[in-house]
Amino acid sequence: MTTAPDRPFLDTVAHATATPEAPQPWADLGLKPDEYQRIRDILDRRPTAAELAMYSVMWSEHCSYKSSKIHLAQFGEKTTDAMREHLLVGIGENAGVVDIGDGWAVTFKVESHNHPSFVEPYQGAATGVGGIVRDIMAMGARPIAVMDQLRFGAIDHPDTPRVVHGIVSGVGGYGNSLGLPNIGGELVFDPSYQGNPLVNALCVGSMRHEDIHLANASGVGNKIVLFGARTGGDGIGGVSVLASETFDEHGKSAAKRPSVQVGDPFQEKVLIECCLELFAAKVVEGIQDLGGAGLSCATSELASAGDGGMHVDLDLVPLRDPSLRAEEILMSESQERMMAVVRPDLLDAFLAITEKWDVETAVLGEVTETGRLVIDFKGETVVDVPPRTVAHDGPVYHRPFARPAWQDALVADTVVAAGLARPGTPAELRATLLALLASPNLASKAWVTDQYDRYVQGNTKLAQPDDGGVVRVDEVTGLGVALSTDANGRYTKLDPYTGAQLALAESYRNVATTGARPLAVTDCLNFGSPEDPDAMWQLVEAVRGLADGCQVLGIPVTGGNVSLYNGTGEAGKIDSSIHPTPVVGVLGVLDDVARATNSGWTAPGLSVYLLGVTRAELDGSAWADVAHAHLGGVPPRVDLAAERTLAEILINASRDHLIDAAHDLSEGGLAQALVESSLRYGTGVRVSVDALCARDGITPFEALFSESTARAIVAVPRSEEVRFADLCGARGFPLLKLGVTADAPLSGADHHGDAPAPAVEVADLFTVPLAEARAASDATLPRYFG
């Protein structure tokens, strides 16, 4: 086939049929030999360059979940009818939707943008936020809040500031420009993430039940409309391996284009308002955001989920770069774009609204009855495929997996076996607390969170550093939701099954401490290469643990994300991957956000109680990490029945105004929680651990720093102590009074003659003035990044 000088080569369906042996760069696009052959079998010919691009991105791990979907099926299989009571839309759509009462629904989801954020931290993180926001928009909802879960390498590594500054600025710059409050998240530093940071972004949106929209192209003759930003050369092949190649007639690379998208939050803000008006006008039949895989995803998924036929003309796509080839247009992940299915009789009304908002719009084609996705370019057909084979019927792998050879040695290396020195004297215990307070993962996150707007829109009730974020949905009744996201890669490294359940339990507990009733789960599963049996075993165990845990807690997984190939080491080695990190987000409902319980003491004279049992559980703990850089042993035991009872107590106590504050116990144990609750509003506390040590058979060190689960501390007004004790007693839940909140410690010895100031005082052991604790906690992040 010859090409005129003024007309670039175009690999059409006709040309592909006539040149069955033409070389193609399928391996460069991340496809395996058997996958390429499968595409040829489906089409009964070789694919065109455009078809090859579509299959490569849609069959990528990111889009198809080909290594994980057989295991993810457990989430559906283990969801009971009772768990579906509040579930309006489950796994399989852009995001899950939950009924929260009074005709209101919320949709929420967490996704990853890990690899782009290492290559280009600002844009990688920014477009991660933009992408998850559009997922929420595509369900018909108004986005109302975001959260972020960030994990970086060692805080003192020379490359960490580059990544931290870029990612934090990207998250804040995009979210703040959209006017969305950032109500919580996580910030973790660990050498395992050095070459592979994790950027997981969550968004929650609200809508009325009747406003729910789904992604499908139904109704023969309905129009396919692309609207939003123009399509450019950024983000091409971002979801597939090395998929930024363009092709000539010999299968050679013609150019390289950037694989990280470039975002424009102001254009997305306009797009949000435009979409909401389109929904309100009821002129949209189906809608899909253009995120990973761009037009390849939107066209194939809409067609596959609808009547199965679609015809599109790529010449009608508004372009920023007119030199883009068909495969590049299909693979581009340019941001701030949406695709809608619109009835012909409503098209003028649709276009009037997009014109009002000055949103560029193009009618690309229509729904057909052919059962095939047909795409034309330059007057020729370049794609003619069964859409389901692209979007839903991709490869499914039963990857081999096995418990790693190094796992037994890791588990056997407990803090006891390692002979780690433990603090024993009051001075040593005090120094240990200050060291933990100043450690990167327990120190104040204010340097980060102060760069985010947490209260824009005026509906935020609680935000970091509270245990959970709380945001109002209905301004009339005060109905709202609470959200928390949690994960502990150290625990999951020791035991993936238990580690996933611990993440679930902590997130569930954090939602309950606000007084909200947990309803649903979203997850982002960050693991190593699925081709490494060690990493695959970690994923399989974590999924099994999470599915089993959700069944016990009675809350369904509504959707989420799997991010694999996170690692920079050699497969089969203990350090070949990141710490396996299953991030679990839990959403709960509050009938009135005004009664949400915060995590800090608001006044002196409140009685402080510990709920739950403390065991000597220090393997994988913050103390083992900070004091000894040790990771080994077994993580704390999980007791989901106890977590359910604890949550019930916290929710009822909040509803009946029996508690003034509640804070879960997790990393850093009781000592960390006491300081955090005191620092929240500047009110100190006086406690004793003598009764706790006697009751649970532990030492003062274990009482202060153990990370046993199903525990919380609460502040109870003295007038409500009897009622609160009865609430716990009726459920047989362990309760122990530790002390009282106070303006000053009993002893002024640590104040050197000055007037006594608020402090955390542990009787007969030590006193730490809040000013000293705050100085230790606040200084760490600014010292490295400020």
User: 367 and 224 in contact (C-beta within 8 Å)?
Assistant: yes
The one catalytic residue in 15, 71, 86, 113 is 113
Cβ atoms within 10 A of the Cβ of 655, count? 15
Cβ atoms within 10 A of the Cβ of 86, count? 18
Residue 134 annotated as part of some ligand binding site: yes
The one catalytic residue in 62, 86, 311, 630 is 62
Residue 652 annotated as part of some ligand binding site: no
Q: Please list, in sequence order, all residues whose beta carbon lies within 8 angstroms of the beta carbon of residue 177, skipping any fewer than 6 positions away.
A: 265, 266, 269
Residue 115 annotated as part of some ligand binding site: yes
Q: Which of 515, 509, 422, 527 is closest to 198 using CA atoms? A: 527
Decide the pairing of beta strands 245-247 and 253-256: antiparallel
Query: DSSP labels for 270-328?
Result: HHHHHHHHHHHTT--SEEEE--TTHHHHHHHHHHHHTTSEEEEEGGGS-BS-TT--HHH
Residue 109 annotated as part of some ligand binding site: yes
Secondary structure of residue 470 in the 3-state scheme: strand
User: 518 and 508 in contact (C-beta within 8 Å)?
Assistant: yes
Residue 573 annotated as part of some ligand binding site: no
Q: Which of 665, 680, 771 is closest to 713 using CA atoms? A: 665
Residue 112 annotated as part of some ligand binding site: yes
Q: Which of 147, 133, 86 is closest to 471 using CA atoms? A: 147
Which tokens belong to 75?
Answer: 């989430």
User: 713 and 672 in contact (C-beta within 8 Å)?
Assistant: no
- Kindly report the backbone phi and psi dihedral angles of residue 768, in degrees, each rounded to the nearest multiple of 5, phi listed first: -125, 110
Chain Cα centroid distance, residue 760: 34
Residue 311 annotated as part of some ligand binding site: no
Cβ atoms within 10 A of the Cβ of 252, count? 11
- Going through 136-238 in order, the beta strands assigned E by DSSP cover 142-152, 182-189, 198-208, 223-228
Residue 663 annotated as part of some ligand binding site: no
Residue 210 annotated as part of some ligand binding site: no
Intra-chain end-to-end CA distance of the chain, in Å: 61
Task: Please tell me the distance from the alpha carbon of residue 555 to that of residue 519, in angstroms, as a whole number.
Answer: 6
Residue 345 annotated as part of some ligand binding site: no
Residue 451 annotated as part of some ligand binding site: no
Task: Please tell me the distance from the alpha carbon of residue 302 to that of residue 410, in angstroms, as a whole number.
Answer: 47
Task: Please tell me the distance from the alpha carbon of residue 66 to that of residue 539, in angstroms, as a whole number.
Answer: 13
Residue 777 annotated as part of some ligand binding site: no
The C-alpha R_g of the chain, in whole angstroms, comes to: 27
Residue 135 annotated as part of some ligand binding site: yes
Residue 170 annotated as part of some ligand binding site: no
Q: Is 299 exposed, middle or buried (0-12, 13-18, 19+ CB in 10 A)?
A: buried
508-538 burial, b at 16+ Cβ within 10 Å, e below that, comes to bbbbbbbbbbbbbbbbbbbbbbbebbbbbbb
Q: Please list, in sequence order, all residues whose beta carbon lies within 8 angstroms of the beta carbon of residue 443, skipping any fewer than 6 positions away.
A: 437, 776, 777, 778, 779, 780, 781
Task: Please tell me the distance from the alpha carbon of residue 64 to that of residue 75, in angstroms, as a whole number.
Answer: 17
- 62 is known as an active-site residue: yes
- Apex CA 89: angle with CA 394 and CA 205, to 5°? 110
Secondary structure of residue 762 in the 3-state scheme: strand
Residue 598 annotated as part of some ligand binding site: no
User: 531 and 571 in contact (C-beta within 8 Å)?
Assistant: yes
Task: Please tell me the distance from the alpha carbon of residue 473 to that of residue 358, in angstroms, as a whole number.
Answer: 29
Whether a cis peptide bond, with omega within 30° of 0, leads into 465 is yes
Residue the block writes with tokens 């968004």: 203
Residue 248 annotated as part of some ligand binding site: no
Secondary structure of residue 366 in the 3-state scheme: strand
Task: Please tell me the distance from the alpha carbon of residue 633 to that of residue 407, in angstroms, as a whole number.
Answer: 10
User: 746 and 734 in contact (C-beta within 8 Å)?
Assistant: no
- 579 is known as an active-site residue: no
Q: Which residues are annotated as a binding site for substrate?
A: 112-115, 134, 261, 333-335, 563
Catalytic residue numbers? 62, 113
Q: Which residues are annotated as a binding site for ATP?
A: 65, 109, 523, 560
Q: Which residues are annotated as a binding site?
A: 65, 109, 111-115, 134-135, 261, 289, 333-335, 523, 560-561, 563
Q: Which residues are annotated as a binding site for Mg(2+)?
A: 111, 135, 289, 561
